[in-house]
Amino acid sequence: MDFIDSNIVKYAEDHTSEEPSYLYQLNRYTHSNLLKPRMLSGHLQGRFLALMGQLIKPDYILDIGTYTGYSALCLAEGLTANGHLYTIDRNDEAIAVAQDFFAKANLSNKITALHGNAIELIEQLNTKVPYWNIVWMDAEKADYINYYNLCIDKMASGGLIMADNVLWSGKIIDQNELDTDKDTILLNEFNSMVQNDPRVENILLPIRDGIMMIRKL
């Protein structure tokens, strides 16, 4: 995903509000102790998610792809007083780390971490949660269309779906990858589906690895 000039990224981070101390600690812990630390949202993208949460002031957030909880903690900054965030991952080791940091941030009572298959768990949550204000998608890329279809009708009017990695390290404009790589093909199909969905308005932002912003009309 390192296709944006590193000096531009550093400049952007230098001119972005600092992350809370518990997120800084989580960032360092993840890079020191877990595999694939690049999966963590990080400072710039994290502050973007926090800002979206603070602007929308959601009652209900769905975070698909917990990893070590960085994105969940950022999004949770905007929750209403009685709001709640549900986060899903199939990696029990990463979820255990996330829960430790939810406690450090004093947010354990506002975040529920679920371990298992995302599609099955979203179906279950849809029966108990009245609506979603924010959905953050950062799990199996091959299932983005499935996640979207499960969530779109549960979105509150004006609700926001955000899908990460939609530029796929620049592969999304590489014709060879579009012809041969399964994830690239499916992400392109997802981007095209969103672009042509009359129920939403959308913008694809080149933040980090690309975020598709989708507002339910």
Within 8 A by CB and 6+ apart from 180, the residues are none
What pTM value is reported for the model? 0.95
Whether residue 1 has pLDDT greater than 90:
no
Cα distance between residue 66 and residue 86, in whole Å: 9
Helix or strand holding residue 209 (H, E): none
pLDDT averaged over every residue in the chain: 96
Residue with tokens 């009309």: 217
The domains of the chain are located at 6-216
Residue type, 68: T
Digit-coded pLDDT (tens) for 33-88: 988 888 889 999 999 999 999 999 999 999 999 999 999 999 999 999 999 999 99
Q: How confident is the model at residue 188 (pLDDT cuts 50, 70, 90)?
A: very high
Residue type, 107: L
What class does CATH assign to 6-216?
A: alpha beta
| 83 touches 113 (CB < 8 A) | no
pLDDT at 2: 67
Token pair of 25 as six digits: 């600690």
pLDDT at 20: 95
Report how far Cα 39 is from the mean position of its chain's Cα atoms: 10
Strand order of the β-sheet with 200-205 is 111-115, 84-89, 60-64, 132-137, 155-164, 211-216, 200-205
- Residue whose C-alpha is closest to residue 20's, from 77, 100, 58, 89: 77
Whether residue 140 has pLDDT greater than 90:
yes
